[in-house]
Amino acid sequence: MTRLRLRPPRSLRARLTVGLVVLLGLACAAVGTVTALALHGFLIGRVDQQLTASGGRFAASLEHEAEPDADNRPDTRGQAAGTFGARLLGGRVTQAAVVDDTSQRSVPLGTADVRTLNAVRPDGRGYSLRLSALGRYRVLAAPGDDGDVLITGLPLRPVEETVHRLEAVEAVVFSAALVTAGCAAALWVRFSLRPLEQVARTATEVTRLPLATGEVEMPGPVPHADPDTEVGRVATALNRMLGHVGDALTRRHVSEERLRGFAADAGHELRTPVATVRAHTELALRHGGPVPDEVRHALRRVAAESQRMSTLVDDLLLLARLDAGRPLERQPVDLTRVVLDVLDDAHALSPGHRWELDLPEDPVVVPGDPHRLHQVVANLLANARLHTPAGTHITVALSADSRRAGLTVTDDGPGIPPELLPDVFRRFSRGATGRSRHTGSTGLGLSIVEAITHAHGGTVTAESRPGLTRFRLLLPAGPLPAADGADGPDGPDGAGAGADDSGPNR
């Protein structure tokens, strides 16, 4: 059986309102209880006074009721209707009667009633008790002339009815007061917490801002409240915090813009001399005359490093272009064909790996830049083959539905160290502390994968443990947002579409 549990209100406004109403309700309950008890005590005192004033005449007349003399009949003169009288002798009730409107009548008493009457002491004090035939009574006992005990009592029904009437009136009045006070408290609390609600709205607006990247326009300051109040101090502190955050974001944006500009300018400036070094090196290697082996080896190393630097410059230019938000080419791309071409190249470069392909029956087509998507797939497969030993099983799988397309690259290699996994998509992230020259790694391969994927409106994730490493790429299957002036893959700021055969070393 399910139990219903009352949950306290969550908002501060509701808690304050409920708290005020509860406190007022407790105060009303306390006032009602005290007044009801005071009235009950006062009325009981009046009944005791009436019992004392009656002098027990009705109970005394019951001593000689059994005598045949007519003058000894119960004396009901001046007795209020409902007056009770009883005579106890030796623990037994010899006579018990109650006054009606015109005369008196006997009252049948049970064993419990007799015990109750015997418990009344003739000490001049009033006692409240219940008789089975009459109900609640207030009685007073006095010693008789024949060694008996005479008990006189008055009904408590009028007292109880008066007290109940007061309780009903108080319940109505206090309920109306609670409802009125609750509405007034809700309005007052709402008015008092209006500055705090503005603080909450401003803080919520800040949480929705893209603070991680780009230029951010901070919301306006919260209107100043009284600094001597708690809400005023919170508003002042929030305004100061927003000012500091805004200044920090501005400085960060300026620094990022300078860094992007430097990377783009450096890439453009390095392209020509690097290309010149490569050209002269290749020309020297083609020289037909005798060249010492040491010189030829040095020239080959110069050519290899020039090629590596050229790839690095192209990658930096591509990242700078993506960081600047430059649009990519947009056209239908057969992702199935791209995967087949890249996998064919990877198999030729690394025949020692075991390659497996899992494709759906229908071609997977997504809107995007074909050269950049080719680069993404090539970088993922290059990352898998370069950082796993020969014989590793690498599976490339495609999937698609009406909303998005997915590409998964899975291998059973040694995996990525757990301390490196959170930074696997960071630029220049490497699995080893030293720079790996034998693989030509630049540490930008997976960074380019993430940047290009985000530029297409997709996401890329990585998970790894020993024996299983999986990169999952998701791309939207619908049309991309319209872009004007999209540059081609080899535009002014573009780089070649070749894959960067490097990523974080695993």
Residues in the chain: 506
Domains held by the chain: number = 3
What pLDDT, on a 0 to 100 scale, did the predictor assign at position 13?
80
Measured distance between the N- and C-terminal CA atoms of the chain, rounded to whole angstroms: 55
Q: Which of 373, 423, 425, 426 is nearest to 398 (CA)?
A: 373
Range of weakest confidence among 116-125, 212-221, 270-279, 476-485: 476-485
The last residue of a domain, from among 269, 290, 325: 325
Instruction: Reply yes or no on whether the pLDDT at 304 is more than 90.
Output: no
**52, part of any domain:** yes
CA distances from 6 to 10, 26, 29, 185, 203 (A): 12, 19, 22, 22, 30
What pLDDT, on a 0 to 100 scale, did the predictor assign at position 180?
93
Q: Report the CATH number at residue 288.
A: 1.10.287.130
Question: Based on the domain organization, do 217 and 114 belong to the same domain?
Answer: no
Average pLDDT over residues 291-302: 79
Q: Report the CATH number at residue 84.
A: 3.30.450
Identify the residue with better confidence: 426 or 176: 176
Identify the residue with better confidence: 193 or 406: 406
Helix (H, G, I), strand (E, B) or coil at 152: strand
**199, part of any domain:** no
Instruction: Reply yes or no on whether the pLDDT at 291 is more than 50.
Output: yes
**169, part of any domain:** no
What pLDDT, on a 0 to 100 scale, did the predictor assign at position 178?
92
Q: Report the CATH number at residue 353.
A: 3.30.565.10
pLDDT tens for residues 392-401?
A: 999 999 998 8
Considering Cα of 283, then 285, then 290, then 294, what sign does the dihedral take? positive
Burial of residue 386 (CB within 10 Å: 0-12, 13-18, 19+) is buried
Q: Which of 449, 497, 498, 501 is nearest to 475 (CA)?
A: 449
**3, part of any domain:** no
Question: Based on the domain organization, do 157 and 294 belong to the same domain?
Answer: no
What pLDDT, on a 0 to 100 scale, did the predictor assign at position 435?
37
Average pLDDT over residues 407-411: 94
Question: Based on the domain organization, do 116 and 212 belong to the same domain?
Answer: no
**504, part of any domain:** no
Considering Cα of 8, then 9, then 13, then 14, what sign does the dihedral take? negative
- Domain coverage including residue 290: 207-325
pLDDT tens for residues 234-288?
A: 778 878 887 887 788 777 777 667 766 766 666 666 777 777 877 877 777 777 6
Of the chain, the percentage scoring pLDDT greater than 90 comes to 30
What pLDDT, on a 0 to 100 scale, did the predictor assign at position 75?
63
Question: Based on the domain organization, do 245 and 130 belong to the same domain?
Answer: no
DSSP string, 83-138: -EEEEEETTEEEEEEEE-SSSEEE----HHHHHHHHT--SSS-EEEEEETTTEEEE
The last residue of a domain, from among 272, 301, 325: 325
Which of 228-232, 264-268, 479-483 is most confident? 228-232
Question: Based on the domain organization, do 288 and 336 belong to the same domain?
Answer: no
DSSP string, 12-31: HHHHHHHHHHHHHHHHHHHH
Average pLDDT over residues 353-369: 91
Phi, psi of 302 (to 5 degrees): -65, -40
Instruction: Reply yes or no on whether the pLDDT at 433 is more than 50.
Output: no
Of the chain, the percentage scoring pLDDT greater than 70 comes to 80
* Lookup result for tokens 């002269």: 280
**369, part of any domain:** yes
Q: Which of 83, 324, 66 is nearest to 215 (CA)?
A: 324
Question: Based on the domain organization, do 389 and 307 belong to the same domain?
Answer: no
Question: Based on the domain organization, do 355 and 445 belong to the same domain?
Answer: yes
Identify the residue with better confidence: 124 or 140: 140
Question: Based on the domain organization, do 53 and 85 belong to the same domain?
Answer: yes
Q: Which of 448, 444, 425 is nearest to 369 (CA)?
A: 448
Question: Based on the domain organization, do 334 and 457 belong to the same domain?
Answer: yes
Which of 211-215, 281-285, 363-367, 439-443 is most confident? 363-367
Identify the residue with better confidence: 52 or 327: 52
Cβ-defined contacts of 276-279 (< 8 Å, 24+): 277/302, 277/306, 278/303, 278/306, 278/307, 278/310
pLDDT tens for residues 132-147?
A: 988 999 999 988 877 8
Q: Which of 347, 377, 351, 493 is nearest to 446 (CA)?
A: 377
For residue 62, what is the DSSP state?
A: G
Average pLDDT over residues 367-389: 91
Identify the residue with better confidence: 27 or 216: 27
Identify the residue with better confidence: 423 or 32: 32
Question: Based on the domain organization, do 231 and 359 belong to the same domain?
Answer: no
**486, part of any domain:** no
Q: Which residues pair with 136 in a beta bridge?
A: 130
Average pLDDT over residues 368-381: 91
- The Cβ-side half-sphere exposure at 340, using a 13 Å CA radius, reads 8
For residue 406, what is the DSSP state?
A: E
Question: Based on the domain organization, do 157 and 239 belong to the same domain?
Answer: no
What pLDDT, on a 0 to 100 scale, did the predictor assign at position 493?
42
Residue 78 token pair: 């001046």
Considering Cα of 115, then 118, then 119, then 120, what sign does the dihedral take? positive
* Lookup result for tokens 């609640």: 136
Question: Based on the domain organization, do 365 and 446 belong to the same domain?
Answer: yes
**345, part of any domain:** yes
Average pLDDT over residues 278-306: 78
Considering Cα of 320, then 326, then 331, then 332, what sign does the dihedral take? positive
CA distance 468 to 416: 9
CA distances from 171 to 25, 157, 179 (A): 11, 21, 12
Residues 6+ positions from 327 with CB-CB distance below 8 Å: 483, 484, 485, 486, 487
Instruction: Reply yes or no on whether the pLDDT at 159 is more than 90.
Output: yes
CA distance 81 to 154: 9
